[in-house]
């Protein structure tokens, strides 16, 4: 008969991507936290496959306040993050003749941004075939995030406060006895009154396994290509289509490009599909002045969305079950503020003033908005 060791703690976080790592870092000073990541190393799914961009206007009404509230953290990260996390880089939102209304609408939402006509737009995005450009908007804030260092820093902060991070734990089982969850794998059981569902694309699966209501989260595959980069492009802005049909930016010695595909997928180890790569390469070829650009590498990852595309942060109607998921295409850039918000909600504390000042409204993220009962309960 297999013997099981039982480890009591206060909070078990399921998933060790940037979301699980962030909430663990904010909780660990106050609670005994254990992060359980099925795979090794942590961060090999969405977190390890992102484009690493911080673009404050990105992600719609619900994500923007969390991005804004994260700017200070990226500008001055705590020492445990080991140095700068952000290389500043503006974003040029570009528009063709049929997209001028979209560009004007974005300009209305970003009062500090600079609007350019076709000539200046072409000068600032010299890689694009000029005839395609009718205007552009320069968003100065933002840049390239060192995602690996951000993720490692959150995990280090968790450990430094006494939290534990277990990677490669394999498949977990869930049971609830009284007011305590028992989460088990490989002969080990962690017992805690609270579990946090930070399982990314698998978050609905984890909810079902624990007997909580799934929320209809949909993972969507996005494909990223690297092209050779002319040396003079290092300081160029990120160039993004105003309707998010593509974006590209310098990335180390390459140019990172995506055709912004969003193909629904089951949760999985997403791989670049031949057709998606071909479509993206053909689009880049049509847009670019480079002669016959050929990708040097491609990867794919899953961006996971709630039906209303807002993050899911808060208590489930199942006692002791807390959600931190549905982070779409903005889970890295929002992670400092979203982690702080999630920890405050879980601990039942006041939302930090810097989040409120940035316009963060926790009700926008409540999981219960997506269930028929709508009733929130705490542990």
Ligand X SMILES: Cc1cc2nc3c(=O)[nH]c(=O)nc-3n(C[C@H](O)[C@H](O)[C@H](O)COP(=O)(O)OP(=O)(O)OC[C@H]3O[C@@H](n4cnc5c(N)ncnc54)[C@H](O)[C@@H]3O)c2cc1C
Residues of the shown chain interacting with ligand X in the complex, contacts defined by CB under 6 A? 14-20, 36-39, 42, 45-47, 49-53, 172, 198-202, 206, 222, 224, 301-303, 325, 327-333
Of 255 and 302, nearer to ligand X (C-beta) is 302
Q: In the complex, what is the shortest distance from the CB of residue 167 to ligand X, in angstroms, rounded to a whole number?
A: 9
Of 53 and 215, nearer to ligand X (C-beta) is 53
Quick one: tokens of 89? 């880089």
Contact between 132 and 96 (Cβ < 8 Å)? yes
Quick one: tokens of 208? 């079902």
Of 122 and 220, nearer to ligand X (C-beta) is 220
Q: How many residues does the chain have?
A: 379
Q: In the complex, what is the shortest distance from the CB of residue 277 to ligand X, in angstroms, rounded to a whole number?
A: 13
Angstrom distance (rounded) from CA 48 to CA 30: 28
Q: In the complex, what is the shortest distance from the CB of residue 60 to ligand X, in angstroms, rounded to a whole number?
A: 13
Angstrom distance (rounded) from CA 80 to CA 57: 28
Of 104 and 140, nearer to ligand X (C-beta) is 140
DSSP summary character for residue 53 = E
Of 133 and 215, nearer to ligand X (C-beta) is 215
Of 133 and 298, nearer to ligand X (C-beta) is 298
Contact between 352 and 340 (Cβ < 8 Å)? yes
Q: In the complex, what is the shortest distance from the CB of residue 122 to ligand X, in angstroms, rounded to a whole number?
A: 25
Question: What end-to-end distance do the CA atoms of the chain give, in Å?
Answer: 34
Host H or E run for residue 340:
helix 335-347
Q: In the complex, what is the shortest distance from the CB of residue 196 to ligand X, in angstroms, rounded to a whole number?
A: 11
Angstrom distance (rounded) from CA 155 to CA 148: 11
Angstrom distance (rounded) from CA 16 to CA 319: 22
Residues 6+ apart with CB under 8 A from 199: 14, 15, 20, 205, 206, 325
- DSSP helix/strand/coil, 159: helix
Of 133 and 225, nearer to ligand X (C-beta) is 225
User: Among 239, 222, 379, which residue's Cα sits nearest to residue 305?
Assistant: 222
Q: In the complex, what is the shortest distance from the CB of residue 131 to ligand X, in angstroms, rounded to a whole number?
A: 28
What are the backbone angles phi and psi of residue 270, rounded to the nearest 5°? -65, 140
Of 134 and 299, nearer to ligand X (C-beta) is 299
Q: In the complex, what is the shortest distance from the CB of residue 50 to ligand X, in angstroms, rounded to a whole number?
A: 3
Q: In the complex, what is the shortest distance from the CB of residue 158 to ligand X, in angstroms, rounded to a whole number?
A: 13
Say if residue 266 is exposed, middle or buried (CB neighbours under 10 Å; 0-12, 13-18, 19+): exposed
Where b means 16+ CB within 10 Å and e means fewer, 310-344 reads bbbbbbbbbebbbbbbbbbbbbbbbbbbbbbbbbb
Angstrom distance (rounded) from CA 20 to CA 13: 6
Q: In the complex, what is the shortest distance from the CB of residue 52 to ligand X, in angstroms, rounded to a whole number?
A: 5
Of 64 and 303, nearer to ligand X (C-beta) is 303
Q: In the complex, what is the shortest distance from the CB of residue 118 to ligand X, in angstroms, rounded to a whole number?
A: 27
Of 19 and 92, nearer to ligand X (C-beta) is 19
């Amino acid at each position: 008969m297999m013997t099981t060791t039982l480890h009591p703690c206060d909070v078990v976080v399921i998933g060790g991507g940037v979301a699980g790592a962030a909430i663990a870092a904010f909780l660990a000073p106050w609670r005994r936290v254990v992060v359980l990541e099925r795979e090794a190393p942590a961060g090999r799914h969405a977190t390890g496959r992102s484009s690493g961009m911080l673009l404050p206007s990105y992600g719609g009404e619900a994500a923007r306040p969390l991005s804004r509230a994260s700017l200070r953290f990226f500008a001055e990260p705590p020492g445990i993050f080991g140095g700068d996390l952000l290389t500043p880089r503006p974003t040029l939102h570009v528009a063709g003749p049929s997209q001028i209304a979209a560009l004007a609408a974005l300009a209305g939402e970003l009062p500090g941004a600079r609007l350019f006509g076709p000539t200046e737009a072409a000068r600032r995005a010299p890689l694009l075939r000029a005839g395609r450009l009718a205007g552009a908007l320069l968003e100065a804030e933002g840049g390239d995030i060192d995602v690996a260092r951000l993720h490692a820093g959150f995990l280090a902060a968790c450990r430094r406060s006494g939290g534990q991070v277990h990677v490669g734990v394999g498949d977990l089982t869930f049971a609830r006895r009284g007011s305590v969850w028992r989460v088990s794998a490989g002969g080990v059981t962690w017992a805690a009154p609270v579990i946090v569902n930070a399982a990314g694309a698998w978050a609905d699966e984890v909810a079902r396994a624990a007997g909580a209501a799934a929320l209809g989260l949909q993972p969507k595959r996005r494909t990223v290509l690297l092209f050779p980069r002319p040396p003079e492009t290092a300081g160029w802005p990120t160039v993004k289509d105003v309707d998010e049909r593509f974006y590209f930016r310098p990335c180390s010695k390459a140019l990172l490009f995506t055709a912004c595909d969003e193909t629904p997928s089951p949760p999985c180890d997403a791989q670049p599909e031949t057709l998606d790569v071909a479509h993206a390469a053909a689009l880049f070829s049509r847009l670019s002045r480079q002669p016959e650009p050929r990708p040097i590498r491609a990867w794919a990852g899953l961006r996971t969305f709630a039906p209303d595309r807002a993050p899911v942060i808060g208590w489930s109607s199942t006692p002791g079950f807390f959600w931190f998921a549905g982070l779409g295409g903005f889970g890295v850039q929002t992670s400092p503020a979203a982690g702080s918000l999630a920890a405050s909600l879980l601990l039942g504390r006041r939302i930090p003033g810097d989040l409120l000042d940035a316009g963060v409204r926790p009700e926008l993220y409540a999981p219960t908005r997506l269930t028929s009962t709508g009733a929130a309960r705490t542990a």
